[in-house]
Amino acid sequence: MADEFVKGFAILTVGLLVWMMFASWFNTPSFYEAQLIGPGPEDPTTYEAIALIVKDAMLAFAIFGALTFWVIIPASRRAREYYATN
């Protein structure tokens, strides 16, 4: 059980750190305005568009990865144990 928690926590940490890095580069217009959630670039270049896609993908990876290891895998193991005894 602790193994799944550590894997989920590592995925959550790495995913959110990468998301925060890209959000600070592309979605923080200034220090005194909206930080990390500001509007994206108006006309992104190819590399900026790829970075924005990676930013969104890492947020989804962090959320779904942590939920997979914290909820889905333990629930499936409990369900398998329950159906094996009945």
Which position has the higher pLDDT, 29 or 16? 16
What SS3 class is residue 16? helix
Dihedral, 76, 77, 83, 84 alpha carbons, nearest 10: 150
Q: Where are the domains of the chain?
A: 2-85
Residue 2 predicted with pLDDT over 90: no
Query: Residue 37 has what pLDDT?
Result: 83
pLDDT, tens only, 22-60? 999 998 887 887 888 888 888 999 999 999 999 999 999
